[in-house]
Structure 1
């Protein structure tokens, strides 16, 4: 391709296929770990970014020699980066105790950049970037979970009879399990046994936000909370 403003159909096909491959590799890792944006999403983002970059560089080649016409190959690329930011924001979830989806949002953003690089013919950078992205998502994630990640926030919710000393016993249990209470909410609630003409039974709903270490076992903590007595429901998130 001696003319930088002209590309043949074979090279267009190769660039689009390469964008699908590189985006699919990153999307497969996200799909395998059950994230919101998976294989197809990353393929579409990378493929669309490559197509827009091809359009930006080569789509207006007929106007290059026109008088008083200036071609800017980066104009559409900047719009892609901005648009992908809104798409990535849709994968970020605030659950009330933590924020999830930041890594997937970042992967969508960077896979768009990979697609732009492929569309511009920047093959080496696109392939190396894909390998580095996979290294970050797979290898560094395992290292973080095993060696780096510190305390994690969990939400424990339980319904129980309003018995004296319940909060003290719960606090002592959590302290024994190495959980630090960061927030505690207590709501009084009453329940009526279904189908029985009995007065409402006074009860309490307790929501505890705790900081735990990597050895936190939700099954064990649930079993011990149920052993406090008159606990009708326990939820650990």
Structure 2
């Protein structure tokens, strides 16, 4: 008697892939000293995948494309809306300096949940592409933004880009 059936092994591989995706995104956040890191984002992705797999396994929908489609749509809508509220909890606004912090972390939480859903659906090519784009955005775009801010500040005769520096203030890269 086998402990795990082939379908159990498939589900486990999807859950572990979700954890791996979340932890990779979280590693970037840990390396940048952000409070939302590998464990948190691994759990967010795992939770999204678990809910997705559980809903897709509801008795009576297998073999019924319309029912499966409605369930998958409901999963995606529910998970990503709920995660949006969780992400909103990490966004902080400094009223004096007109700065918003935590938007990047909130976006990372949201994308990590989406990766978890994609793992549950076994959309492997899409997962790899989205993970690469996410990691590139998190790792490479901030240094580019800093260079552009420094160039803009230099052109305007400022040492640093302050609160009246323009659209970059509420970009949300502080989180």
The TM-score bracket by the shorter chain reads: 0.7 to 0.9
- How far residue 95 of structure 1 moved from its aligned partner, in angstroms, is 2.1
Output one character per residue of 1:51-103: Cα deviation in whole Å (capped at 9) or x when no partner. Answer: 1111122x21x31379xx94422212210011001110011111231111111
Q: Alignment partner of 1:94: what SS?
A: strand
Whether 1:63 and 2:60 are equivalent positions in the alignment is yes
Output one character per residue of 1:132-175: Cα deviation in whole Å (capped at 9) or x when no partner. Answer: 10000001111111235645xxxxxxxxxxxxxxxxxxxxxxxx
Output one character per residue of 1:86-126: Cα deviation in whole Å (capped at 9) or x when no partner. Answer: 11001111123111111111111111111110101111101
TM-score (ref. length: structure 1): 0.57
Q: Alignment partner of 1:143: what SS?
A: helix
Distance 2:61 2:87 in 1: 35
Residue in 2 that maps onto 1:163: none
Q: Alignment partner of 2:122: what SS?
A: coil
Whether 1:102 and 2:103 are equivalent positions in the alignment is yes
Q: Alignment partner of 2:53: what SS?
A: helix
**Structure that is richer in helix per residue:** 2
5+ residue gaps, structure 2: 1-5, 166-175
Whether 1:76 and 2:75 are equivalent positions in the alignment is yes
CA 1:179–1:84 in structure 2 vs 1: closer, same or farther (change >3 Å)?
Answer: closer
C-alpha RMSD over aligned residues: 2.8
**Structure that is richer in strand per residue:** 1
Distance 1:65 1:26 in 2: 33
Query: Which structure has the larger Rg?
Result: 1
Contact 1:179–1:210 under 8 Å retained in 2: no
Whether 1:50 and 2:42 are equivalent positions in the alignment is no
Whether 1:9 and 2:17 are equivalent positions in the alignment is no
Residue in 1 that maps onto 2:36: 37
Distance 2:62 2:26 in 1: 41
CA 1:135–1:70 in structure 2 vs 1: closer, same or farther (change >3 Å)?
Answer: closer
Distance 1:136 1:65 in 2: 38
5+ residue gaps, structure 1: 1-6, 152-175, 181-208, 213-237
CA 1:14–1:124 in structure 2 vs 1: closer, same or farther (change >3 Å)?
Answer: same
Distance 1:65 1:147 in 2: 52
- How far residue 34 of structure 1 moved from its aligned partner, in angstroms, is 1.5
Distance 2:158 2:148 in 1: 21
Q: Alignment partner of 1:99: what SS?
A: strand
Q: Alignment partner of 1:121: what SS?
A: coil
- Bigger RCO of structures 1 and 2 (CA < 8 A, at least 6 apart): 2
Q: Alignment partner of 1:37: what SS?
A: coil
